[in-house]
Chains A and B, each alone.
Chain A
């Protein structure tokens, strides 16, 4: 895929992307009502979660 083709994919999908983005903005605003300084929004909470993440990375790197 060249840059022109990639840009066409994004431009063709800009409206649903903007709609989802607006919802994310409202969500963070709502989160910040409680505590605007929470540093972590998502991430592995336990070593098991971290190992699951490593498995995802390994699987992603396998040949298609």
Chain B
């Protein structure tokens, strides 16, 4: 008879997988000296300040990172993809994602980057999505989704990166999907 896995064991299991994905990504990008870790409360407080000085609704985050942090760290978020990029002690970017119940798809829900003197400028997607790709493969997923891209320019950018735009009945792109090739 299979013993029941406790919530604590589930949390530990996915925390270990996130750590492996982070370590593997740090090693891959060692030339950048970037550190990857889980998002802390201090990080989300800082990220909410980034958006405070932007007026263009196509470019500012419309959600609060603090609220997302609480929701993602609930018991239901145990399997989350959770990454902060740090370089020289500076927070450069944040990303949250969650796998589907079957774990065949990893959905990326939010990515923000530091708009002020970011030493990883131009490298945020490269590093963040490499780590997400690694975590997805550890889960056994075969698709990565980018949910709710912020604007049409970003949709074009992701489409050029090989993602397929998926639209709803109102012709609004709800997510972009990428097959994880072997």
Using a CB–CB cutoff of 8 Å, the interface residues on chain A facing chain B are: 1, 3, 6-7, 9-10, 13-14, 16-18, 20-32, 34-46, 49-50, 52-54, 56-62, 64
Contacts and interface: CB of A to CB of B under 8 A. Distances in A.
A22 to B, nearest CB: 8
Residues of A contacting B: mostly:
helix
A38 to B, nearest CB: 5
B157 interface: yes
A30 B121 CA distance: 12
A6 B19 CA distance: 11
Q: Is the interface of B mostly helix, strand, loop or mixed?
A: mixed
A42 B111 contact: yes
A21 B98 contact: no
Contacts, number: 182
Contacts of B115: 37-39
Interface residues of B, number: 67
Contacts of A6: 17, 20, 138
Contacts of B71: 53-54, 57
A40 to B, nearest CB: 4
B134 A10 contact: yes
Contacts of B161: 20, 23-24, 26-27
